[in-house]
Chains A and B, each alone.
Chain A
């Protein structure tokens, strides 16, 4: 994206690049507003609250709506209601609230209604460590709702990327008519960085497709090969039915196995058939690396710093970082990691990403090569960040063995 931003001050030149000091949560709020957010419903919870505070201030000034609901269940419900009525809608929460939203997230996916849920991860389980970072919700963001539902989950590693991926979350939600989860964590959310925001006029914005057929022809759930179907809003004359029950293309409840399987396949395939569009992965100094670090979010920042330091002392180390956590970038990971001797997976949980890495690499490494290859986990969930030093010592330990 071009590094030009509309300047805030009236005196300054319009094309001048003005970096601003911004917090991760602030960047998410800005990203949402720039993506065209119309409606926010939320409930206060540390460490996500700043997002609600900023939007409570900004949304009504732009004609948008902000409401503080009675709980997180009501928040996810209200944004889905608003989205059905045509709004670009979002909520933001953290661990305990995210758990409460699970049924509502499954509902949004089932009824294929776009919305964005931000989960600023804090230490868990339960109330856990409200003011400390964690990466404990990676699996929950994929599997948290009951029943089989697809998931699109993004996770930035910087303040600027928090802004960019928020816009992307809206684009993907609108494009694929689903609930997209944007993960962040306590450090990323509260860390301040100087960022240069792109010119929003040059950022691609996607909105839902509107139907162009008369109401009597309209089918709320169209099956087409692209899995992109038009979405009418309430109050536009289409008068469709929406239910969380298994439904037919018109939205009416059905328990006919043939109709139910069509519906379930659509939910699955709209993610599965667009992996290339959904997956974003960063590869950093990976070409000649024998040891690869696989890390996401704030932990990838530490890993990147570790890679730089290790490279200075001649170690062949690289970093692979998924920006899209779900769908898990299987193919890209296989491609990048198949020839690596060691894969180090640092994460602030008890081993969630590493479980996926083992699954993916287990499918390509044969038994013989397993003996010469290693997957090393660095697991930390005590409320502290994983430091570059910890990753460096893990790499050095490996190199000693080699």
Chain B
């Protein structure tokens, strides 16, 4: 992994045109961007053949920095646009970069249905537990009791477990890690890209400037330490007693199964219909 040089990274960035980026100091999005690029570099994908689609939010600003076919869409709709691209041109590698609010609140419907179809999209969901771009409102993953600008008295909305949501909807590759575990993130993204079918990599991230500040989580380094401690490998998590599980969450690959992929199924339908027509003529 260390073999991937700065030069290689820059090969995938539109660095001359678009930096500095919009993200705040201490934001994890840059770490995820690095993991995405290193995973793609390892796989040696052709840049022309990659489409990166995003919705609206902090994480969704990622496509502007990378030298792929990039599409910055409407709030919540990234997966629906990506479905159009992938379904029409299945040979393209389509990556969706999204956030917790974008994918599971306003875009929840598209998220579950793309998972159900098992269409070959790789969704990289950066979960910072808050709406950052609009200044810190609570999202479907803001923890109970947490403060945000719209939960000034503490949040009473129960949270989504995004990986469980994806699995419940039929996703065939589901993994979670954190921005602290950057190399694991890179490895999971790589496996997700190689996976045929709908894949989700949820990456917990630190938003020290808004979420951290509102909830007294400390600075960026402190929040990194919390991710290191709280994200527990799946097997280790199961062994914890109930009390120890407080504040902790699982990381690792939850599911990796083979199942018919949507665009391939449709292509088979086209072939079989055309074959029948050929026979008739």
Contacts and interface: CB of A to CB of B under 8 A. Distances in A.
A245 interface: yes
A235 B92 contact: yes
Interface string A68-102: 01110110011111111111010000000000000
B266 interface: yes
A67 B87 contact: yes
A284 B71 CA distance: 47
A10 B256 CA distance: 52
B210 interface: no
Contact of B83 (A81, A107, A237): A81
A73 to B, nearest CB: 6
Nearest to B49: A235
A263 B83 CA distance: 28
B69 A240 contact: yes
A71 B107 CA distance: 11
B64 A234 contact: no
Contact of A235 (B17, B91, B266, B274): B91
Given A63-B270, A234-B85, A234-B89, A81 B277 contact: no
Interface stretch (B74-82, B97-105, B133-141, B150-158): B74-82
B48 A236 contact: yes
B109 interface: yes
Contacts of A200: none
Interface in B33-92: 47-49, 51, 53, 63-64, 67-74, 77, 80-85, 87-89, 91-92
Given A60-B269, A60-B270, A77-B77, A65 B92 contact: no
B280 to A, nearest CB: 11
Contacts of A80: 81, 84
B113 interface: yes
Contacts of B48: 235-237, 239
Contacts of B91: 235
Interface in B128-147: none
A73 B108 CA distance: 12
A87 B269 CA distance: 19
Interface residues of B, number: 39
A61 B274 contact: yes
B228 interface: no
B67 A239 contact: yes
B217 interface: no
A228 B47 CA distance: 28
Interface string A209-253: 000000000000000000000000011111111111100001011
B82 A61 contact: no
B266 A69 contact: no
Contact of A78 (B14, B51, B72, B80): B80
Contact of B109 (A70, A237, A239): A70
Contacts of A85: 51, 84-85, 88-89, 92
A79 to B, nearest CB: 6
Given A235-B69, A239-B68, A239-B69, A82 B273 contact: no
Contacts of A67: 83, 87
B110 interface: yes
Interface string A337-374: 00000000000000000000000000000000000000
A170 interface: no
Contacts of B82: 81
Contact of A38 (B53, B69, B88, B266): B88
A81 B84 contact: yes
Contacts of B80: 69, 73-74, 77-78, 81
Given A65-B266, A235-B51, A242 B70 contact: yes
B18 interface: yes
Nearest to A215: B48
Contact of B88 (A39, A71, A104, A252): A39
A71 B109 contact: yes
Contacts of A193: none
A78 B84 contact: yes
Contacts of A70: 109-110, 113
A41 interface: yes
A326 B170 CA distance: 44
A129 to B, nearest CB: 27
A84 B85 contact: yes
A368 B53 CA distance: 60
A37 to B, nearest CB: 12
A84 B17 CA distance: 23
Contacts of B270: 60-61, 63
Contacts of A86: 88-89
A213 to B, nearest CB: 16
B64 to A, nearest CB: 6
B72 A82 contact: no
20 contacts: A61-B274, A77-B73, A77-B74, A77-B77, A77-B84, A79-B84, A81-B82, A81-B83, A86-B88, A234-B71, A235-B91, A238-B69, A239-B47, A241-B64, A242-B70, A242-B71, A242-B72, A243-B71, A244-B72, A252-B17
Interface of A: 38-39, 41, 60-61, 63, 65, 67, 69-71, 73-74, 77-87, 89, 103-104, 107, 234-245, 250, 252-253
Interface of B: 14, 17-18, 47-49, 51, 53, 63-64, 67-74, 77, 80-85, 87-89, 91-92, 109-110, 113, 266, 269-270, 273-274, 277
